[in-house]
Structure 1
Amino acid sequence: MEGFNSGSSPSKPNHVYLSFRGDDRSCDFTDRLLAALESDDLNTFWDDKKLEPIHSIFLPRSCLKAIQQSNISIVVFSKNFAASTWCLQELSAILERIHEPRHTVVPIFYDVDPSDVQNQSNSFEKAFAEHERRFTRSDVHSWRLAMKRVAHCPGWYTPHNPWQQTIDDIVREVKKKMRELVHVDVDMVGMQSRAKEVIKLLELGVNDGVRVVGICGMVGIGKTTLARVVYDRISFNFDASHFIYKGNEFCMSSRQLQGENILLVLDDISSYNLEPVIQTIDDNWLGKGSRIIITARDVGVLKGFKMHDIYRVKPLTKDEALQLLCRKAFRRNFPIRGYEEQINSVLEYANGLPLAIVEFGSFLHSIRASEWSISAFIEFKKVVNFVVMKALKKCFLELSPNGRKFFLDISCFFIGKDIKYAEGILRCYRYDKSLMTVIDQKILMHGLMQEMGREIVRQQSPSRPEEWNRLWDFNDIDRVMQNDKVTPKVKAIVLDLEDSQGRTLKAEA
């Protein structure tokens, strides 16, 4: 793309992604920082914001790919940073990786007060006011939250024209973080036992054929983390090993795998990029003893290919969830005395979902424990809820039109109900089995997934339930019926009432 430069060699992995605003005040600093990073063998990806087209809206795909592949994201906040839509889109992409164990964010506040960035005041307030005139409320809201979240990470404040020693100190800290990421604790909370179970399914040293194992589960359950832990533990057993995110690069690299005893991990596979894997096995490109691990949200995608085994990732237990939250919030394995109520609220909200626990814990670590209060908890929950729901909604948007209808029907009407009530719906739709489970003939779904589904329905018209296509809450139904406001948009009404003996009476329309 014209106007784009990169300091990253395509043959080398990116250690660092450098995000900055190309204005006169910060360019000299970022040039010196970039030179210092490269001189210390930290392969750094950067885009030349000085050449950013005035009317450009979308960040180049090459930048998004580099963010996904980098270990460290350095964000240089300067006074004009928020004026660039590219910078704001970079923040949103970085925020999506902020919970990953092998990625970290380092904000640098260049000649700007960190509170101005966190609160979006002064020059940042002016920039966002301009964006609100040009872009949707949803876009601007997501940029604001991304900036607030990244700006709360531990970072550096540097005055205008800082000493070279300051830059050297920053580079030294970045190298330290790189070493920590390389030697990240593979026995992360809840992963040790799960990794052993996956490794057992791989049958290392027992089966000399090519063996394929799938890992499936809902968004945020830890599929990528688990696959990375397994990869780290067993990769030394193979002639070559490859961990490929999103499966996007497999077509380019598959021919290079011929004849090798390899370990191949394809993370976050969907039906459209599974075909090259099938072709690889059918053509016998892989050597004897090779192993393939494929992670996917939908078990149906994995069953489209001859898997030898499929491992379904379960939510964290209560003890595991508590330990993970304490590690992220307190940097210890046990809670601080006096904050049991807040901790229980977080655990109840997350319900064993690692994504929500890590996001909440990391955010709480950025503030003092003394600031934890009920009102603060509500505010924190809004920020964390946005990040979690954004990730979960991607799962919804990837469904087929019929799959979306099925998901909304289940999340609005059938959670906790006997499966016989939904047999008709299950027959009508090909559904993503990671969206729900059936235990003891009861339909279950993670609470955050259910809330996301109902919120999608509410957003059809937030304050007018008569415009929703599904109604399930007594108060909403009563309001619509009393005011005789039922519209043709209402396609289904399901209400459970309990009689005096506690028996459930079901009314459907």
Structure 2
Amino acid sequence: MGAKLFGPGSVLIITTRDVRVLNLVKVDYVCTMKEMDEKESLELFSWHAFRQPSPIQDYCKLSKKVVAYCGGLPVALEVLGSYLYERTKQEWISVLLKLERIPNDQVQEKLRISYDGLKDDMEKDIFLDICCFFIGKDRAEVTEILNGCGLYANIGISVLIERSLVKIEKNNKLGMHCLIRDMGREIIRESSAKEPGKRSRLWFHEDVHDILTKHTVRTFPY
């Protein structure tokens, strides 16, 4: 990246989860993002769980409990809020019982609740395919590819968007929060932690090269 690309007085903002990146480029100032406070968290959660800025009647205490487990992390508030939208109070209680068994720092396990709640395996397959291959790709093209693989991607992608697992960005491109992407890829890795060739999908080119040069394996599950 050459200095000639930027004019005098340009300010570059770098976002990363790895502070070493900032040390390598010798940035002038590091700003550590803080978690959302309880009021902000409850409002964001409510917009996704109730489609309004505050909980509906009889759901206030339950909402505050879910918000507390999210620890002020916006993506967790969005995903869990969308998952709980229009669910019964008993279903809310069931989700809370599951959250109580998850340590507060294990964000991906919280996000996985929404993945586990997808109605059928086809929706899960579409989600995992997007995690590995289609982030940043055109929605129409991805839909055509997945439909050709026997998946009902038109409705499947819509469900994932409703659950806040996938977003539509500029120019109709599929987007996904990096923590959700990592959660999906970890689900695949866990299926065969030591033998990549037995996983349903491969996304690291080193793994793909190693498998294709040493083994014969069917990596696409359809």
Q: Same fold (TM over 0.5)?
A: no
Q: TM-score range by the shorter chain?
A: 0.3 to 0.5
Q: TM-score, normalised by structure 1?
A: 0.19
In terms of fraction of residues, the more strand-rich structure is 1
Looking at secondary structure, tell me which structure has more helix per residue.
2
Higher relative contact order (CA 8 A, sep 6+): 2
Q: TM-score, normalised by structure 2?
A: 0.42
Based on CA coordinates, which of the two structures has the bigger radius of gyration? 1
